[in-house]
Structure formats: structure tokens, C-alpha cells
Amino acid sequence: MADFVSARRGLPGGDLSPATALILDRVRLGAGGPLARLRVAGGRVTHVVAEEGTGGRAMPAGGERVLDLEGRVLLPGLWDAHVHMAEWASARHRLDLSGTASARAVADIVRERGGGTSDGTVLFGYGFRDGLWPDAPHKRLLDAVLPDRPVALVSADLHAAWLNSACLGLVGRGDHPSGLVREHECHEVLSALPAAPAGVVDGWIADACEAAAARGVTGVIDFQYGDAVADWERRSAESPPAVRVAAAVYPSRLDAAVERGLRTGAELGVGGGLLRVGPLKLFTDGSLNTRTALCRDPYPGLAGTDGSHGIEETSPRELVRLMRRAAAHGIEPAVHAIGDRANTVALDAFEAVRCRGRIEHAQLLSPEDLPRFARWGVTAGVQPRHATDDRDVADRHWAGRTERAFAYADLLAAGARLEFGSDAPVSPLDPWLAIASAVSRTDDERPAWHPEQRLSVPDALVAAARGRRLIRVGDPADLVVVDVDPLKADTDTLRTMPVHATMTDGRWTHGPY
């Protein structure tokens, strides 16, 4: 059999024009599946024939280009159903603060890494988690180590930023008492800081998309703040992305989207269907690490104080109003809800509006709310890596309630549809990390955290593929080829799964072909 070698045109990893057909031979059809042959043409799977000759239409004979995959495993293409693409792409070029155990440790990193320039450019860092720190972030710590250069450090959950006095002065907040800003103020401050030129960020994003394709990703839902629709239309006019993109809409741009007639799932740009309109992003609360997730019970040590139960980002009445307006014009809502009270509010709104949509995160749930996801057709967009990253902070701040935190097995048992994401840059844009965390409920040497909420490998793969369980005739040719059968892989191998090749819309976006 002749190997297929593609010409590299348009997308990284080669291109198959609509008229080109390709046969994938000697490939295992899904985890634990049989050997099979597939034919791809026009961006679709046109034939599937199992080794014993059953299960598909007769394969065309002669003239087809054939690629022998030597018994590797073919899976439906993977999605990251929650990313902030510009933030993720930028974070890959920022000071890495992940794993720091104290505010003092962060200041030490800033001292070591921040003195290389005196031109006044902002030193950006990303990834600190202060929920368990013994000391508090304060501008004095940063002023002591880097007084003259502006410093802006973003928390891992994107809900807080820590600035020194020089940076606070840049954004007109020189009198801020601590330099630690959260939620709305955080977003306002970061928006006011000098940004990298759009062309630079677009280049970073193109690189990030190629890196995602190298991990088997064929599509993302981009919840980047701002005007993601316009940004992606600009990018796709210059070059089609290496992954499919559903670009979210924010409330400030809802009226403009309605006026344009945009609907969730509608094609955008010139990418031939690679770029589509995503959901309307709405917020009910904050986050666990900032202790702003809206909960029924107060946070330890905060009872009786303002914000002791978290914060309400959007009132229930306004949430219903926005959801109703969006749904009436074909735009599905995606509601950020982390605390148990926030999830109840979000589900109440879906019940009132009677529309389909998503709840993003769904981290802490009341038992009576579990069946409501399936009842109202609400997808739970969850991030399994958060369960392992945040287990310690959850044990502290949600003490006595963690049996219903990140309750993925309970959601599935209640009939909910799960879709995995990373919330990148909150965790890396790598679906195999999500799969491994969902299956193991641990990412270190400790035993599984609430092992009753573990998922099976097949269920985790389905959630990572936006509900695709099988590869069938007529499916989009969004496929990933891996070297190890996930059913036979241990947790470490799942995390580092060797991805041989990735195909999106019938075009190779990663691999040796």
C-alpha cells in the first residue's frame, strides 16, 4: 500500500481539497475497537468498513490515496469547550507563577525575572492561586522588589489581578489600598493596560491553535472577553484557523449580534465553516479561589460580613431578561455558575425561559438540581482539571460539601450532557489532562479525591469530543489518531497521550503527513 504524503497548503499539516479522497487503512475504530478502513472526502467520512467487511458501505476501488495507520487508534476529534484564546496565547508568553506557595514567593520571582528592562513596559505574570497562601498579596511586596517598572500579575482563575504602585498609576488607581483587584475591577484594570499589538496576539493565537491541534483538538469554544466574533472574522480572513472556533458573544455586544442576525452555530468569516457563532456568555457569580462563588453557606471566617456567601454578578431578573432576548433571536446562553446558589439561579433562569444552552463550570451543586440539567436540556460545560487543581482550596472553603463538588458522575447518572473544557489559561489547553483528571480524580501521588465521581474512559472521551461516541458515515472528518488505546492506558499515559495525527474538516492539522 502506498503511503499518502500531502502537499502543505493553507493549514499546518497539509490540505485535502474537497475533490480529494483519502482512505485510512488498518486503523482501530475507537478505543477498544476493531480494525477498519475509512474513506474521507469533501470534509466528511464517506465510508466505514470493519475488517470483517461489515458495518459500512462498499469501499470504492482504485484511484484512492491510501494511508496505512498500522493499527493505531482513530477517535472522534476532541474539543475544548471552554477557552479564553487570547488570554491563553498571551499566558504562554508571560511570567509563569503557577505552583507558587505564597505572596513572598511570587515577589521573589518578580525580583529575579523582572529587572531585565527599564523601558517602562509592563511586566505581566500569570497563574498565582492565593486561596491557600499564608500571606496576602499586597502592592508593597511588589514595590519592594520592582518599584519602577509596572507589574501586573493575573490569578489563575482570571478573577483577580495584583499590581504594584507603578502599574496602579498607569490605570488611574494610584490610591488603591492593596493593589489586589477582583472581579469587575480586575477586568476594568486589565482592559486599561497597554496590550500587545493585534498582529502579535494573532500570531500567538495561531501558534496556540497549532499546539492544540497537536494534542488532538479539532475545535474550541472561545469565551475570550471583548468582541471575539470580530476578532475571529479578522483572523479567518487572513488564514483559516487550525481548529474549528465557536466565538462567544458578551452582553455588551448582544444588540449588535441581534442586528446582524447572528445565531449560535451560524457560519462566520471565510473559513468554510471552521468559524461559527458561539453562545452568549453570562455570569451569575465569581470563583472559588477568590471566594466570590455564590454559595448557600458562608465561607469559613466570613459569616456575617459583606460577601460572606460570594457575589451575585447578575440579578436573577436581569439574567432571565438577557437569556430571553438572546434565545428569541437564536443565540443560546452559556451561564457561568460555580457556587451551589449560583447554579440554582442559573437553572431557575433556564426553567423560566425554556431555552437550551449551557452552564459553565457547575462546580458545586445541590442534589435537587442535578436532574434539572437533563430536564431543561442544559449542557454542563465542566473542567475536570479544576477538580484536581482545586481540591485543597475546596476542602478548606467548601468544607463538608465537597461530595457534591465537581460531581461529574452524578451529573451523568442524572442524564446530563457533559462537555469538557480547560478554561485555558486557567488550566492548559490539553484535552488529555481533562480526560485523565476525570478518570483518576487526582494529579499527584495522593489517592483519588471523591473517587465516587470518577468517570469511565469511554464516558470521558465522549465528553471531550462534544458528545461524539462513534465515527459514522456522514460525520465531519474531524479525527484524531493516537498511538495508544485509551482503554489500555494508565493515568500517566492518558495525560501524555501520544497523538500521531489530527484531521479537521478533512485536512491534516497535525502529524507527519
Q: What is the arithmetic mean of pLDDT over 258-274?
A: 91
Q: What is the pLDDT of residue 13?
A: 40
Taking each helix axis from N to C terminus, what angle separates 431-440 and 457-464, rounded to the nearest 10 degrees? 150
With cut-offs at 50, 70 and 90, classify the pLDDT of residue 304.
Answer: confident
Cβ distance 453 to 414 under 8 Å?
no
Give the domains, in start order, of the chain with CATH numbers. Answer: 1-76+471-513 (2.30.40.10), 87-192 (3.10.310.70), 284-425+447-454 (3.20.20.140)
Question: Which candidate, 446, 332, 315, 424, places its Cα nearest to that of 378?
Answer: 332
Q: For residue 185, give every residue at least 6 positions away whose Cβ sits within 8 Å of its Cβ, in sequence order, or none.
A: none
Amino acid at 91: A
Q: How confident is the model at residue 270 (pLDDT cuts 50, 70, 90)?
A: confident
Give the tens place of pLDDT for each residue, 184-204: 899 899 989 988 899 999 999
pLDDT in the model for residue 431: 98
- Whole-model pTM? 0.89
pLDDT at residue number 119: 72
Q: What pLDDT score does 11 carry?
A: 39
Pairing of strands 151-155, 123-128: parallel
pLDDT tens digits for range 382-396: 999 999 999 999 999
| Residue 210: pLDDT over 50 | yes
How large is the average pLDDT for residues 9-16?
Answer: 41
Q: pLDDT-derived band of residue 118, with 50, 70 and 90 as boundaries?
A: low
pLDDT computed for residue 3 by the predictor: 28
**CA of residue 439 relative to chain centroid, distance:** 18
Q: Cα–Cα distance between 497 and 484 in angstroms, integer?
A: 7
